[in-house]
Chain A
Amino acid sequence: MSERIRCQLTVGDRVRWLSHLEFLRTVFRAVRRAGIPVRYSEGYNPHPQISFATARPVGLSSDAEFVDLQLLRRVRVGDLEEHLDAALPRGFSLLRAAEVPAAAESLNSAINAARYSFEMPRESPGVWRAAAREFCARRSCEVERQRWNKPNRIVDIRPHVYGLDVSVTGDGVRLIADMALGGENNVRPEELLRALRALGPEGEESEHPLYEVQMHRLAMYRREDGREIEPWDLT
């Protein structure tokens, strides 16, 4: 009977440029430094049994990256939290760890939604409010999806965006969005921005390039019949 611990990690500003693969390696090494008795797969080339939710886009900082560790034996969750947090490099932290049932569905398939914030300095709240209203009023909204090594494809993201909220900040606009995560419905944060831009007065040609927008993941959860289930409560 294996122990399974779910961890919530944050990815800070300076290290948000790591790719998903680099993030995995960072976690593997931190787990080894922390001396956590993680289980390895059988076979010729054993891998540590550490699983992640859907890949985080490069450049996205996050308060909610989830990782499951399969352990060889029970450990005190408080000790694990303390050791793993201390072992993480500067820029990452462990917010919380908790035991989950060994038979619980994998993070990757159980979690299907995420909440993002987009900080856009120097932009007009009026324009973004109008765009968000227009977006929500539509039944469909198509964007061009860039795919690695494959031709671009047109996808409709409207059904997979669950909520938008525009607020005013000291120097610009903050957009909060709830969207599908992982699988076929996945919406990339940058796709939502392009879709909203296209609905605004300037179209996609804005004087503020998209790469200046600070994108951040606030939460990950399971959306089921309109309810939100936190990763801790998934069985």
Chain B
Amino acid sequence: MQSSLFHAVERLLPRVQTPSRYIGDELHAVKKCWDEVDVRFALAYPDLYDVGMSHLGTQVLYHLVNDRPDSLSERVFAPAEDMESLLREEDIPLFSLESRRPVTDFDLLGITLQYEMTYTNVLNLLSLARIPLRSEDRDDQHPFVLAGGPCAFNAEPLAPFFDLVCLGDGEDLLPQVIETYRRWREEGCPGGRDGFLRRIGRHRGMYIPEFFRPAYDADGELAGVQQVEGERSEIVKAVSRLDECPFPTRPVVPYTATVHDRASVEIFRGCTQGCRFCLAGMVYRPVRERTPDQVVNLCRDTIANTGYSEVSLASLSSTDHSGIQEVMQRLGTEFSDARVSISLPSLRVDDFSVEIAEAVKEVRDTGITLAPEAGTQRMRDVINKRVSEDDYVRALRAAFSAGCDTVKLYFMVGLPTETDDDVRGIARLVRLAHDVYRENPGSGRALQAHLSVACFIPKPHTPFQWEPQLGVDEFQRRIELLRGELPRRGLKFNWHDPEMSFLEGALARGDRTLADIVERAWRGGCRFDGWTEHFQPEKWYEAFSACGVDPDCFVTRERLREEILPWTHLHPGLSEKFLWDERERAYAGLTTEDCRRGECTDCGVCPNIGASCEAAAPLRSEDENE
């Protein structure tokens, strides 16, 4: 075991930008005694510290492991370019922040897969840590390399690089990994590395890629993903009851300003709104809420322990919490004189009320953020975004009368069945925002509108998983079409790079053949592909052609229902029939109600994983809401 790299790293700090990213001794960072625990877990986020420290899941798992007497957890992030060059020049291995030990000193290395465009960073982390990239090349002196997070539900493009992929809630999965590992080692590591993998593979949600092998038919099409070892032929995710899960009220408080520079409390997990494009809305089901009491207590404690002046009530759709009004009211009283503001990310257009506009200081400070996602009612029906133009106007009026003069709008182009009229509809809604503002220009200043347009990328495990993604040129054309229709003044317009979206599409719905391409692109120098200034599409195209793989086969090709999808053996619990029916309903322009307000939609999750939606209070139906 190597000793701490403390001084070696210290000598690098004067030579890098934002050295505070690497000091690792922030408020509430935990540094446990190395020799007093059985299991040492390195928790890695494959992006910069500034991004990774804004990820709530990282904070949750970090403290979950450190709260166990038998284990410790230390954080690892992707070093920025300047730090990476110094590490390579001075031959220093990638280190954990807390005790600055080489990652290879740890027993387990967990890497979260939040976003496909971090995949080359995953390889870069392994390389900087001096861990063989491929699972098959690792031996007893290397940590087991684990993945988790939403992208784990199609881990195939990275399958050869992971020993173990965990599907489901980390609160449930990680303790099982730690306990199984500890017992396996106490028994003298029976069966070697495979012995541990076989043992952990008996648990639900544990996917061991080397135990499965994709088979291809004569035409090179995927014929199946076969189980070659272990006991499970398909991997069903594991979930926990959120109201019984610990939540860290002493999160690590970064010194440097991170992407989300505030306290965050997860008020529920899962979402049953049923937006047909949304990966998170599908794979995190069912909905599990914390009670209003828990939420208020967690907010109070976190604010007291951190000194943050803002707390965000995090979830996929925060106004959907069954007790949100009670929570907002109680927090308003709780923090009335402590100068704490409350923010609600992912506000729903149809639920945005004057009360919320007034309670959420953010609306006054930084403006209202709305995500109608599509420009016409027809298009919104197709994607099951059940908001009307009236809802939109009402939300804007509420915000403007609360004094807001900035609006951020999120839309997508390239949705299934989209026509040029649907694209023009986006411009119409932008102009409508200006019109509504003119009726009631609260502050007297001109309205500032920000329009953000993403290219629609079909994701696995969603009703659109069979859809073709638009090609780069067609995305460009639609974005240009939209641009021509937009008001010239009072608007900032930005859109996702269609080339980046093309690659994201390939990685999202690719199979194991992409692993060689990811490795090749990384060897060619690709890093931080999600960052415009680092993205090098030509390197990726080179990698695809060098490996003889046509990316269009994964991206722009429509898939057939009878086709074997690369993620067919990985189950978030949804039934295939539900996804296909939802796709048919999309084409028929039919919406599907939230199962928490209306009938069960037979998505399959509750019976398949043996759980159910845990609302703290019954929800009103959508009719009662009006």
Which A residues form the contact surface with B (CB < 8 A)? 14-15, 17-19, 21-22, 25-26, 28-33, 40, 45-46, 58-59, 87, 89-91, 211-212
B25 close to A (CB within 8 Å): yes
A40-B309 Cα distance, complex, nearest whole Å = 13
Tell me if A17 and B365 are in contact (CB < 8 A). no
- Given A17-B23, A19-B20, A19-B256, 9 additional A-B pairs, CB 8 A: A17-B19, A17-B20, A19-B18, A22-B255, A29-B306, A29-B307, A32-B307, A33-B305, A89-B253
Tell me if A15 and B309 are in contact (CB < 8 A). no
Asked, given contacts A29-B308, A30-B307, whether A89 binds B23 with beta carbons under 8 Å apart, the answer is no
8 tightest A-B contacts by CB?
Answer: A29-B307, A211-B14, A17-B19, A32-B307, A33-B307, A89-B27, A22-B255, A14-B25
Tell me if B253 and A17 are in contact (CB < 8 A). no
B304 close to A (CB within 8 Å): yes
* Residues in chain A near residue B365, CB distance under 8 A: 45
Tell me if A212 and B306 are in contact (CB < 8 A). no
How far is the CB of A14 from the nearest CB of chain B, in Å?
5
A interface footprint on B431-469 (CB within 8 Å = 1, 0 otherwise) = 000000000000000000000000000000000000000
B25 touches which of A15, A19, A46 (Cβ 8 Å): A15
A90-B255 Cα distance, complex, nearest whole Å = 12
B13 close to A (CB within 8 Å): yes
How far is the CB of B532 from the nearest CB of chain A, in Å?
22
B15 close to A (CB within 8 Å): yes
Which residues from 278 to 321 on chain B have a C-beta closer than 8 Å to any C-beta of chain A? Answer: 304-309
How far is the CB of B169 from the nearest CB of chain A, in Å?
30
Closest to A89 in B: B27
Tell me if A212 and B20 are in contact (CB < 8 A). no
B14 touches which of A22, A26, A59 (Cβ 8 Å): A59
How far is the CB of A47 from the nearest CB of chain B, in Å?
10
A56-B339 Cα distance, complex, nearest whole Å = 28
A18-B24 Cα distance, complex, nearest whole Å = 12
* Residues in chain A near residue B15, CB distance under 8 A: 211
* Residues in chain B near residue A26, CB distance under 8 A: 255
A46-B365 Cα distance, complex, nearest whole Å = 11
How far is the CB of A176 from the nearest CB of chain B, in Å?
21
* Residues in chain A near residue B20, CB distance under 8 A: 17-19, 22
Closest to A33 in B: B307
Closest to A190 in B: B14
* Residues in chain B near residue A15, CB distance under 8 A: 23, 25, 255
How far is the CB of B522 from the nearest CB of chain A, in Å?
29
* Residues in chain B near residue A40, CB distance under 8 A: 339
B8 close to A (CB within 8 Å): no
A32-B306 Cα distance, complex, nearest whole Å = 8
What are 20 sample pairs from A and B whose C-beta atoms fall under 8 A apart?
A15-B25, A17-B13, A18-B20, A18-B23, A19-B20, A21-B257, A22-B255, A22-B256, A22-B257, A25-B255, A29-B253, A29-B306, A30-B307, A32-B308, A33-B305, A45-B365, A58-B19, A87-B307, A91-B25, A212-B11
Tally of chain B residues near chain A (CB < 8 A): 24
* Residues in chain B near residue A212, CB distance under 8 A: 11
Closest to A215 in B: B14
B234 close to A (CB within 8 Å): no
Which residues from 393 to 424 on chain B have a C-beta closer than 8 Å to any C-beta of chain A? Answer: none
Scoring B11, B14, B15, B305 by chain A CB atoms within 10 A of each residue's CB, the highest score goes to: B14
A interface footprint on B556-582 (CB within 8 Å = 1, 0 otherwise) = 000000000000000000000000000
A33-B11 Cα distance, complex, nearest whole Å = 33
* Residues in chain A near residue B257, CB distance under 8 A: 21-22, 25
A58-B308 Cα distance, complex, nearest whole Å = 24
B179 close to A (CB within 8 Å): no
How far is the CB of B27 from the nearest CB of chain A, in Å?
4
* Residues in chain A near residue B18, CB distance under 8 A: 19
Tell me if A46 and B339 are in contact (CB < 8 A). yes
Closest to B255 in A: A22
Closest to B19 in A: A17
Closest to A13 in B: B10
Tell me if B307 and A14 are in contact (CB < 8 A). no
A181-B550 Cα distance, complex, nearest whole Å = 63
Asked, given contacts A15-B25, A18-B20, A19-B20, whether A33 binds B306 with beta carbons under 8 Å apart, the answer is yes
B26 close to A (CB within 8 Å): yes
Tell me if A90 and B305 are in contact (CB < 8 A). no
Tell me if B306 and A14 are in contact (CB < 8 A). no
Which residues from 228 to 275 on chain B have a C-beta closer than 8 Å to any C-beta of chain A? Answer: 253, 255-257
Which residues from 151 to 170 on chain B have a C-beta closer than 8 Å to any C-beta of chain A? Answer: none
* Residues in chain A near residue B339, CB distance under 8 A: 40, 46
A124-B253 Cα distance, complex, nearest whole Å = 42
Closest to A91 in B: B25
A19-B257 Cα distance, complex, nearest whole Å = 11
* Residues in chain B near residue A30, CB distance under 8 A: 307
B26 touches which of A32, A46, A89 (Cβ 8 Å): A89
A29-B11 Cα distance, complex, nearest whole Å = 29
* Residues in chain A near residue B14, CB distance under 8 A: 59, 211
A59-B11 Cα distance, complex, nearest whole Å = 11
* Residues in chain A near residue B306, CB distance under 8 A: 29, 33
* Residues in chain A near residue B307, CB distance under 8 A: 28-33, 87
A interface footprint on B7-46 (CB within 8 Å = 1, 0 otherwise) = 0000101110011101101110000000000000000000
* Residues in chain B near residue A59, CB distance under 8 A: 13-14, 19
Closest to B14 in A: A211
